[in-house]
Amino acid sequence: MDHLAESRSATIRFGDFTAVDDVDLAVGSGEVVGLLGANGAGKTTLIRMLLGLLTPTRGTVSLFGGPPSRATRRRVGYVPQTLGLYDDLTVQENWAFTGAAFDTKEQALPESIADSGHELVGDLSLGLQRRVAFAVAFSHDPDLLILDEPTSGVGPLSRARLWEDIRASAENGTGVLVTTHNMEEAEQCDRLVFMVDGRVAAAGTLSDVIGDRQVVQVDSDDWRQAFSALDGDGFVVQVQGDCLRVPGTPGQVDELLRRHQLTGNVTAVPANLEETFFDIVTSASRQ
Amino acid sequence: MVGGDGAGKSTLLRALVGLVRLSAGTARRPGKRSIGYIPATAGLYVDLTVEKNLAFIGRAYGVTGAEYVTRSEGLLERIGLTQARSRLGGQLSGGMQRKLAVAMALFHDPELLVLDEPTTGVDPVSRAELWRLIARAAARDTAVVVATTYVDEANRGSTVLLMDQGRAIATGSPSDIIAAVPGAVGVVRDAVRPRGPSWRSGSSWRVWAPSDSLPEGAESVTPTFDDAVMIAALADGEKA
């Protein structure tokens, strides 16, 4: 498969600091790839290399099969977390500005935002601003979309509509690279790439990445006592309603509860993506 | 408390802690000195060091001497900022700033802790650490109210309030909210949108049949909490 964007052993150093270290990443036509990692893991630096805004110290990057350039960047649609719109211009003016910058033929505003054409972007709700930012990014028919936390802060229906737009363009052959801290958003992707300290720590589909990781679920009559006992012993306990979830084995947890004269139903359950993330990051930094 | 931007979460929290007056209805709360509250955009002084932030809060609540040392050292250790005590608040990462803010709100051991979007924009590792701090407070019998835009975080609450456009669109425990879903939910593994109210889940679609009769080709599934949230929003006729 021809990749729209690709990095091979890409490495970049700033002085003594290696921000991106030996990273292979590829985004193909029609796929939605999620790039995950803690703040400072190197996600943004990697994207800036793929766009040709930074030059790798070692390794290679390519955009549409060649070195990134102004010409290939024209085929990319980018929606930053801050949306990249002009708040003091109307929706129509933002649309026209992007059209002129990309030299696309004059187009009518898409139906989804047409009603707000004469309103200042700064006066719109965040959900609507995001729709405008998407429409603007999609307007020059990009072959590759790069989206940073695309649905941050919007309600469930607006989020669903934005993902419909993302999916529809992927089905038309656009490749999509999404960076996010939002696990619901990550679960929408076809493939995930986890970065830790500049390196790829895990990659694959959602089920590949989670693998057979398990956590221990504790259902007890008094979650507060069980929490205090486990937390006091150094377990990273997460509370979900009245039950607890902890990394470890049922045996370890059971024994600890007994030592504190506590009872509870202790079972191993499949880990969710957030627990997997925590495990990947903490075990990679231990190494 | 879960909802998107503009749902009314912050205003409701402000009414709860007594910063805005209700036009109708009532809010009950403990006395001011028993509340810890962090607004979405603040909670610490960026131009003071970590240590001075804590010292300020200690003096404000009249905690001094040995008691101050015990509490502030304990908090610093629990939030992992012992080594960063001389750094300015503004030099900390977003996640660390939020942890320090939560620690400051907990300094006087409040009966009620109110946090407005403490985890927005925070990476998942820092988020897990923040929730651990919050759970510790709840385990010591502090009542905690947290606003969030992340639906998956709602699962952490024993009671959830879903908000949209200033109104509650669902309330109860996560399992109550799932149990209250009317009709049937199905999954359609196809690129073509199924008939009826539907939304994306990865490359497939979820479809909701309020009347129980799913469209052809839909495989019936047990609703998840995410489904229940979508359905509450659809049923409420949320506008974009």
Q: How far is A69 from chain B (nearest CA, A)?
A: 31
Could you give the angle at the alpha carbon of B44 between the alpha carbons of B38 and B47, nearest 5°?
160
Residue B240: exposure state from Cβ atoms within 10 A (0-12, 13-18, ≥19): middle
**Residues A43 and A144 both lie in one domain:** yes
Q: Same domain for A30 and A170?
A: yes
Contact A239 B131 (CB under 8 A): yes
Same-domain status, A172 and A248: no
Distance CA B56, CA B46 (A): 13
Q: Are residues A128 and A229 in the same domain?
A: no
Instruction: Please list every residue in chain B whose beta carbon sits closer than 8 Å to the beta carbon of residue A247.
Output: none
In-domain check, residue A281: no
Domains belonging to chain B, first-starting first, are 9-157 (3.40.50.300), 177-236 (no CATH)
Residues A253 and A197 in one domain: no
Interface of B with A in 74-103 (CB under 8 A): 93-95
- Residue A40 phi, psi dihedral angles, 5° rounding: 85, 5
pTM confidence score: 0.89
Instruction: Tell me if A275 is assigned to some domain.
Output: no
Residue A115 covered by a domain: yes
Q: Is residue A278 part of a domain?
A: no
Q: Which domain holds residue A187?
A: 3-209
Contact A19, A40 (CB under 8 A): no
Domain match, A106 and A187 both: yes
Chain B residues whose beta carbon lies within 8 Å of the beta carbon of residue A40: 93
Is residue A124 in a domain?
yes
Q: Do A120 and A243 belong to one domain?
A: no
C-alpha radius of gyration, chain B, whole number: 21
| A119 found inside a domain | yes
Tell me, yes or no, whether A219 and A117 share the same domain: no
The answer to whether the beta carbons of residues B112 and A222 sit under 8 Å apart is no
How many structural domains comprise chain A? 2
In a domain, A44, yes or no: yes
* A237 and A107 within one domain: no
With pLDDT > 90 as the criterion, what percentage of chain B qualifies?
66
Report yes or no for ipTM above 0.90. no
Are A152 and A227 in a shared domain? no
| Same-domain status, A80 and A222 | no
CB contact under 8 A, A231 and B132: yes
Looking at chain B, which residue has its C-alpha nearest residue A179?
B123
Partner A, chain B 155-214, Cβ-Cβ below 8 Å: 155-158, 164, 173-175, 191, 199-203
Res. B4: pLDDT tops 90 = no
Do residue A138 and residue A60 come from a single domain? yes
CATH number, domain of A246, equals: 3.30.70.790
Q: Give the pLDDT of chain A (287 residues) as one tens digit per residue.
A: 579 999 999 999 999 999 999 999 999 999 999 999 988 899 989 999 999 999 999 999 999 999 999 999 999 998 988 888 999 999 999 999 998 888 887 788 888 888 899 999 999 988 889 889 999 998 888 999 999 888 887 888 888 888 988 999 999 999 999 999 888 889 999 999 999 999 999 999 999 999 999 999 999 888 999 999 999 998 889 998 889 999 989 999 999 999 999 988 999 999 999 999 999 988 876 66
Report yes or no on A107 lying in a domain: yes
Residue A241: closest CA among A257, A265, A219: A219
